[in-house]
Amino acid sequence: MKKIGYTTGVFDLFHVGHLNVLKRAKLECDYLIVGVTSDELSMSAKNKKPIIPFNERMDIVEHIKFVDEVVPQMNYDKEEAWNNLKFDKMFVGDDWKGSDKWNQIEKDFAEFGVEIVYFPYTTHTSSSFLREVLSKI
């Protein structure tokens, strides 16, 4: 049975940290679906508008070898995402591991046979770091 994997992100100022997540996610599944966060959702959650427009962010992720399908992420409802995509594994940054929120999500998803897999972040770069560097040029 092919395993479907799912991960989400804003993927603003695409960098090697994003690439590493996608590469590792693909190693652990057969078909990787990536949810790209809409501008509106990012605004409502982080009060920050992504630098790069939504359609360009989707376009970039679509062009990465490891990615099989790209979908917009319009809300944080993971159950709704699962109803639509029926993934077997969801990949998440490991800063969430052990949090109440994700412990609960792990339990809820275990009932559907969905595994939550945590990945470490790439330490030498991030979109926030890049924003800072670029603003000083």
In the complex, the smallest distance separating the C-beta of residue 88 from another protein, rounded to whole angstroms, is: 23
- Footprint on this chain of another protein (rule: CB under 8 A): 13-16, 19, 22-23, 49, 51-52, 56, 59-60, 63-66, 125, 130-131, 133-135, 137
* Closest to another protein by CB, 47 or 113: 47
Catalytic residue among 3, 46, 86, 107: 46
Q: Is 46 a catalytic residue?
A: yes
User: In which residue are the tokens 């275990």 written?
Assistant: 110
**Is 49 a residue of the active site?**
no
C-alpha torsion angle, residues 18, 19, 21, 25 (rounded to 10): 140
Alpha-carbon distance 38 to 53, whole Å? 9
Positions annotated as catalytic residues are: 46, 48
